[in-house]
Amino acid sequence: MARVVLGIGTSHSPMLSTPWKQWDQRVKADRQNPELAFRGKTYDFDALVELRRGEPLAAEITPEKWRARHAACQRAIDALADRFAAAAPDVAVIIGNDQRELWDEENMASFTVFCGEEIPNRPRTPEQTANLPPGVAIAERGHAPPSEIIHPGQPDLGRHIIRSLIADDFDPGQSARLPRGTGYVNGVSHAFGFIYRRIMDDALVPNVPVVLNTFYPPNQIPAPRCVALGRAIARAIRSWGEDRTVAVFGSGGLSHFVIDEDVDRRALDAMQAGDLDALAAIEETLFESGTSELKNWITHTAIMAEFGLAMTLLDYVPCYRSLAGTGNAMGFAYWE
């Protein structure tokens, strides 16, 4: 019988792999975004600056704050990598999402379990890099290797999870080969590439990516369903007939592209308490844009609850980059 021995939750933002002095590159993209989501509504950049004028955001975007917060994030990532190496699990399950990197309008399931033998990861071509929005190319090293790496999947566990979920009244998508994609990446989605590069140091154990659609209507997976899905994945792992140790990852978040510390704290407090009902009760209107990646953590937390593992929050680092409150709040935690 397989057993989960470690859980890791981590943000995967490009800001984590960008020198702090270059964080302002992404502000250009923020200014170009007419639908910055914040507390159930959307705003353009200038409207959001006006809305948040009463907050002390100018103090959050100084060089001193950027340097300190970048350093805090790197310490947390290194600590998670060390914990993963010490646990030395046999296999991994990674809960992440895809931002129309591989799955697009042709066919986007509410969630997909990857059950292939191979998981390729490749750098972008010069032509692809030239077409990227501001502040993305500089972070390439955080999720894509300098040359192609073919990582090992765990098809036996992937297929077992699919069969178990179907028996548990879920309807998973399944993929044994990465889709051709939209041309935005050349390998696995960055939610998974970040785990491979920054936590596993490209020395992967065989793993099963579980890809949630958190971003794109009309079939985003809702928070209560994430709780139920996590519990069902835990049952699938436990019933796998192999005597293996398993690490489970939740990749993404926290609030972005506009930071909302209240939402982050509400979610993190519930995770630390193991309160799945509180996580399921968070309003769907708050899970917009990048903040929707909290659902990867919610699914992960439900898996941890089934195995009785408790959360330790290593750090919460709200990395603001503008007077509009844009940026990415970073979270780093483990469950043992």
Rounded Cα gap, residues 129 and 286, in angstroms: 32
Lowest mean pLDDT of 13-17, 129-133, 298-302, name the range. 129-133
N-to-C CA span, the chain: 18
- Spell out the residues 6+ positions from residue 22 whose beta carbon is closer than 8 angstroms to its own: 135, 138
Mean pLDDT confidence for 5-18? 98
So what's the pLDDT on residue 238?
98
Domain boundaries, the chain: 3-335
Lowest mean pLDDT of 30-34, 129-133, 325-329, name the range. 129-133
Whether the per-residue pLDDT at 287 is higher than 90: the answer is yes
Q: How confident is the model at residue 157 (pLDDT cuts 50, 70, 90)?
A: very high
Whether the per-residue pLDDT at 30 is higher than 90: the answer is yes
pTM beyond 0.75: the answer is yes
So what's the pLDDT on residue 1?
84
So what's the pLDDT on residue 165?
98
So what's the pLDDT on residue 133?
86
Lowest mean pLDDT of 129-143, 199-213, 216-230, 282-296, name the range. 129-143
Lowest mean pLDDT of 93-97, 127-131, 169-173, 205-209, name the range. 127-131
CATH number of the domain located at residue range(s) 3-335 in this protein: 3.40.830.10
Q: Tell me which residue of 250, 252, 256 sits closest to 329, measured CA to CA.
A: 256
Whether the per-residue pLDDT at 184 is higher than 90: the answer is no
Mean pLDDT confidence for 241-249? 97
Whether the per-residue pLDDT at 181 is higher than 90: the answer is no
295 in Cβ contact with 287 (< 8 Å): yes
Q: How confident is the model at residue 330 (pLDDT cuts 50, 70, 90)?
A: very high
Q: How confident is the model at residue 299 (pLDDT cuts 50, 70, 90)?
A: very high
Q: Tell me which residue of 5, 1, 10, 6 sits closest to 317, measured CA to CA.
A: 10
Whether the per-residue pLDDT at 199 is higher than 90: the answer is yes
Amino acid found at 256: H
Whether the per-residue pLDDT at 148 is higher than 90: the answer is yes
Q: What is the mean pLDDT of the chain?
A: 96
User: From residue 333, how far is each of 80, 249, 252 by CA, in Å?
Assistant: 8, 10, 12
So what's the pLDDT on residue 57?
98
DSSP string covering 152-204: EB-HHHHHHHHHHHHHTT---EEESS-----SS-SSS-HHHHHIIIIISTT-P
Whether the per-residue pLDDT at 135 is higher than 90: the answer is no
